[in-house]
Amino acid sequence: MHMRSVKDEMRANLVSMMERGQEIFPGIVGYEESVTPQIVNAVLSRHNFILLGLRGQAKSRILRALTTLLDDEIPVLAGSEVNDNPFAPISKFGRQLLDECGDAAPIEWLPPHRRYVEKLATPDVTIADVIGDVDPIKAARGGHILSDELTIHYGLLPRSNRGIFAINELPDLAGKIQVGLFNIMQEGDVQIKGYPIRLSLDVMLVFSANPEDYTARGKIITPLKDRIGSEIKTHYPPTLEHGITITEGEAWTDRDTEALDVPRFIKEIIEGIAFAAREDKRIDRRSGVSQRLPISMLENAISNAEQRSLGSKEKHIVPRLSDVYSALPAMTGKIELEYEGELHGSDRIGAELVRNAAGAVFDQYVGQIDCDEVVSWFDEGGALKISPMERSDLCLKGFSAIPGLLNVVEKTKLAPQKDPATLVAGCELVLEGLVAHKRISRSSELGYSRMRAPGGYKHGSGGIDPQLFQ
């Protein structure tokens, strides 16, 4: 019988998918022209590979998606710790089972998800965890000497035989374990407690790491780096649209109600916050700003709107900009600050990012629409303070007192439904956009009021590249 390795199996299935025009990694957005072609090349080349990228760039998700390239099921000898092939077992247990039972040896069928083994590398991971160790209890129960192969308790790597073994944050592995890995990759032999064992493991090895650690100055040993076939760099969403698509797919928005309506501009603001944070000099770029930030913020903003509707008995749930501000706790724990950022504090920086993102989205929707009438009302001493938990109809009455505000909203695409909840959300964006461009002011004491400090309107000063909206 012809036997093929797991890398040949993945290659053949990938070729078949490409010939049928099938999508390779469904649900992975923004990598179609960058990362995915490089992974395809690595699999076609039968390479072990590593994904290099900052946190929240779907590295682990991609590695887990590799199981879609495996066969629906494969036969293994029943009871084998290392998924022994019934036709060519590599363990002593498997060989003895075949000698005793021959063609009657029991087998079981292994699905793809049981052929994927993942380990998060931490400094306390041991050789026993990854490769294996002698088990004295096993020796005593079986009456074996300690040097007998049957006394070995296999680690994760041998147990992933005929499958995929993934290690996240590879450089965090201790040096001696990295040495053990490249020895297996190169020679296929293992030493456990000084006892040499030759295991012809059939494994696809895949890794992930932060680029900062995967360098000569980092914690990766050069011989292991040399034995990894392909080095593939991941990245954050290239455009706002890609980011919104990812966030929509990952965020929990199914709140068991048909009354929820998240305005498009709210999604753009939340995604814009992540884009702005990745460029902010006060935030550590080496740590990155995970895609989990906009996902968590969207979920939190929706929850705040849901809380308001439950308290006010309002049926239509529409998140507003004030709900985005209420979602700051979902942001501050996901950004690592530089020294300058520590001086300002994460709450202040988070509020600035929200305001700047609102200013950028204001430019996209309001653009050159004349807001002078709105600004004049505030310049003449007008002020408006509205509770974030106030009902939409009452908020709309307050916003209606500002001359020209509803006209501005109606001239844009901010409130196509013209219902109170959506109109209020649109009004909040217009006012926050004017705050971002320093035409009016906002404070916790007075709410929206006239601009006291010197400053003026500067179109496009929201801190986000307008091309991201294209």
On whether the pTM is more than 0.75, the answer is: yes
Query: What is the pLDDT averaged over residues 133-137?
Result: 66
What pLDDT does residue 149 have? Answer: 65
Q: Per-residue confidence at 457, pLDDT binned at 50, 70, 90?
A: very low
What pLDDT does residue 145 have? Answer: 59
Judge contact between 160 and 117, C-beta under 8 A: yes
What pLDDT does residue 93 have? Answer: 87
**Poorest-pLDDT segment among 84-88, 92-96, 308-312, 439-443:** 92-96
More confident residue, 391 or 217: 391
Angle 61-65-69 (CA atoms, 0-180°, nearest 5)?
Answer: 165
Q: Which two tokens stand for residue 33?
A: 């022209």
How large a percentage of the chain has pLDDT more than 70? Answer: 89
Domain boundaries, the chain: 6-72+111-233, 240-469
Residue 90 above 90 pLDDT? no
- Give the whole-angstrom CA distance, residue 180 versus residue 193: 13
43 to each of 6, 222, 363, 392, 439, how far by Cα in Å?
11, 23, 45, 54, 56
Query: What is the pLDDT averaged over residues 101-125?
Result: 92
* Of the candidates 239, 252, 207, the residue with the CA atom closest to the CA atom of residue 31: 239
What pLDDT does residue 460 have? Answer: 42
Q: Per-residue confidence at 459, pLDDT binned at 50, 70, 90?
A: very low
Residue 218 above 90 pLDDT? no
- Assign residue 327 a region (left: φ > 0; alpha: ψ between -120 and 50; beta: otherwise): alpha
Q: List, for residues 164-211, the tens digit of each pLDDT value.
A: 999 999 998 888 888 878 777 776 666 666 566 667 889 999 999 998
What pLDDT does residue 140 have? Answer: 57
Residue 431 above 90 pLDDT? yes
Query: What is the pLDDT averaged over residues 233-249?
Result: 95
Q: List, for residues 250-290, the tens digit of each pLDDT value.
A: 999 988 878 899 999 999 999 999 999 999 999 988 888 99
Residue 421 above 80 pLDDT? yes
Phi, psi of 142 (to 5 degrees): -90, -5
State the chain's mean pLDDT as an integer.
88
Q: List, for residues 56-77, the tens digit of each pLDDT value.
A: 999 999 999 999 999 999 999 9
454 to each of 354, 385, 437, how far by Cα in Å?
21, 22, 11
Q: List, for residues 347-387, the tens digit of each pLDDT value.
A: 999 999 999 999 999 999 998 899 999 999 999 999 999 99
Q: Is 241 exposed, middle or buried (0-12, 13-18, 19+ CB in 10 A)?
A: middle
Judge contact between 299 and 255, C-beta under 8 A: no
Phi, psi of 152 (to 5 degrees): -80, 130
Q: Per-residue confidence at 461, pLDDT binned at 50, 70, 90?
A: very low
Q: List, for residues 2-23, the tens digit of each pLDDT value.
A: 578 999 999 999 999 999 999 9
Q: Which fold has domain 6-72+111-233?
A: Rossmann fold (3.40.50)
What pLDDT does residue 462 have? Answer: 45
Q: Per-residue confidence at 141, pLDDT binned at 50, 70, 90?
A: low
